[in-house]
Amino acid sequence: MPEEISLLLQNGADSIVREWTNKVATDRRVSSDAHLTYLQLVDHVPQILEDVRRALLHEPETIHPAMAQQHGRLRWKQGYELKEVVRELMLLRTTLMEFIEQYRGALQHKKADHLMQAYRRLNGFMDEELYRTIEAYLESAEQVTV
Q: What are the tens digits of pLDDT across the range 81-139?
A: 999 999 999 999 999 999 999 988 887 766 777 788 889 989 999 999 999 999 999 99
Q: What's the first-to-final CA gap in the chain, in angstroms?
A: 48
Place 53 in a pLDDT band, splitting at 50, 70 and 90.
very high
For the chain, list the domains and their CATH numbers: 2-145 (1.10.490.70)
Question: Is the Cβ–Cβ distance between 52 and 122 less than 8 Å?
Answer: yes
Average pLDDT over residues 18-23: 98
* Torsion from C-alpha of 24, 29, 32, 38, nearest 10 degrees: 10
Classify residue 64 by its DSSP letter: -
Model-level pTM? 0.91
Average pLDDT over residues 36-63: 85
Greater confidence (49 vs 62) lies with 49
Average pLDDT, the chain: 89
H runs (alpha helix) in the chain: 2-11, 13-26, 38-42, 45-56, 65-77, 82-102, 112-145
Query: What are the CA-CA distances from residue 135 to residues 76, 93, 140 (Å)?
Result: 11, 19, 9
- For the chain, how many residues are written? 146
Average pLDDT over residues 9-19: 97
Question: Is the Cβ–Cβ distance between 121 and 58 less than 8 Å?
Answer: yes
